[in-house]
């Protein structure tokens, strides 16, 4: 049973087709990792899933909800779409934490202002999520007082506090200093092992190898190869994937 079904996702920027009818099916509790050269459409696909970007064609269904559509089939208004978007948690490459708020307030803001729970309950929930991510000592620090790895974990907690069904990660470690990458990957791996459904765009091949149930390789706005990491990495069929992996070898 698929929790997430995106079909025919197409996105053009001007004359350039960035996504060309992409299908993406994700089962509950599955961790799907998307790899590919920059410009292949990975990030745009992720952003089309939760409608940060409006696709030109295609539909996304998540847990019986079709994004942008009400249950009676009519077009959802902005408020309804915003609410549907909370079915996804989104983690940005550059964290995008709210700089004027403490870690606790960053995480509590969504529950407080979107779900409308009391300030007390919102902060309690935020403290639980932050503690789960090992940030119990940093609740009252502003983002500028935290390391990149800590900031990204706050961002993960912020997404989790909305109780999403699927977590989307957009190159979550690309903006981090090398020594801070592992703590974020560890947090993600723990999340996966707890049964969270995740779609991860990343250049961390070790994470793809060890944490992914399935790896998708994108090129030119399409998914050109997919499979369990063992097979895909050891016996790539598509020439572009072979080239992509060869280029990575010296680094890893």
Partner 1 sequence: MIFDWNVVTYAAPLLAHGVVMTLQVSAVAAVLALMIGIAAGLASLSSSRVLRGVIRVYVEFVRGTPLLIQIFLVFFALPVLGVRFSEFWAGVVALAFNAGAYIAEVVRGTVGAVEKGQSEAAMSIGMTRHGALIWVLLPQAWRPMIPALTNDLITLTKNSSLLSVISVYELTRAGQAIIATHFAPFEIYLLLALYYWALISALAWASRRIERALPQW
Give the interface with partner 1 as residue ranges (CB under 8 A): 50, 52, 78-79, 82-83, 85-86, 88-90, 92, 94, 96-100, 109-110, 113-115, 142-144, 158-159, 161-162
Residue 147 beta carbon to partner 1: minimum distance, rounded to whole angstroms: 16
Compare residues 11 and 158 and give the one whose CB is closer to partner 1.
Answer: 158
Residue 152 beta carbon to partner 1: minimum distance, rounded to whole angstroms: 13
Residue 46 beta carbon to partner 1: minimum distance, rounded to whole angstroms: 11
DSSP of the chain, one letter per residue? -EEEEEEEEEEEETTEEEEEEEEEEEETT-EEEEE--TTSSHHHHHHHHTTSS--SEEEEEETTEETTB-TTSSBP-HHHHHHHHTTEEEE-TT----TTS-HHHHHHHHIIIII---HHHHHHHHHHHHHHTT-GGGTT--GGGS-HHHHHHHHHHHHHTT--SEEEEESTTTTS-HHHHHHHHHHHHHHHHTT-EEEEE-S-HHHHHHH-SEEEEEETTEEEEEE-HHHHHHS--SHHHHHHHHHHTTT-
Residue 72 beta carbon to partner 1: minimum distance, rounded to whole angstroms: 21
Compare residues 89 and 236 and give the one whose CB is closer to partner 1.
Answer: 89
Residue 235 beta carbon to partner 1: minimum distance, rounded to whole angstroms: 37
Compare residues 167 and 205 and give the one whose CB is closer to partner 1.
Answer: 167
Compare residues 110 and 148 and give the one whose CB is closer to partner 1.
Answer: 110
Compare residues 82 and 239 and give the one whose CB is closer to partner 1.
Answer: 82
């Amino acid at each position: 049973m698929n929790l997430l079904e995106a079909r025919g996702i197409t996105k053009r920027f001007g004359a350039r087709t960035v996504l060309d009818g992409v299908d993406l099916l994700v089962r509950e509790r599955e961790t799907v990792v998307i790899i590919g050269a920059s410009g292949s459409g990975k990030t745009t696909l992720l952003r089309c899933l939760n409608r940060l970007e409006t696709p030109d064609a295609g539909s996304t269904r998540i847990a019986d909800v079709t994004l942008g559509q009400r249950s009676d089939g009519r077009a959802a208004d902005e408020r309804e779409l915003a609410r549907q978007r909370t079915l996804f948690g989104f983690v940005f490459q550059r964290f995008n934490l709210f700089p004027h708020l403490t870690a606790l307030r960053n995480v509590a803001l969504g529950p407080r202002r979107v779900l409308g729970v009391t300030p007390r309950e919102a902060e309690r929930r935020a403290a639980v999520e932050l503690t789960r991510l090992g940030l119990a000592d940093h609740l009252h620090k502003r983002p500028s007082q935290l390391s990149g790895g800590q900031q990204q974990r706050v961002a993960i907690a912020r997404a989790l506090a909305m109780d999403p069904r699927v977590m989307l990660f957009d190159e979550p470690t690309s903006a981090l200093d090398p020594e801070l990458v592992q703590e974020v990957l560890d947090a993600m791996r723990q999340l996966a092992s707890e049964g969270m459904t995740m779609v991860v765009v990343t250049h961390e091949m070790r994470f793809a190898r060890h944490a992914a149930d399935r790896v998708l390789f994108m090129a030119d706005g399409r998914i050109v190869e997919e499979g369990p990491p063992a097979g895909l990495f050891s016996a790539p069929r598509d020439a572009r994937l072979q080239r992509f992996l060869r280029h990575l070898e010296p680094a890893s």
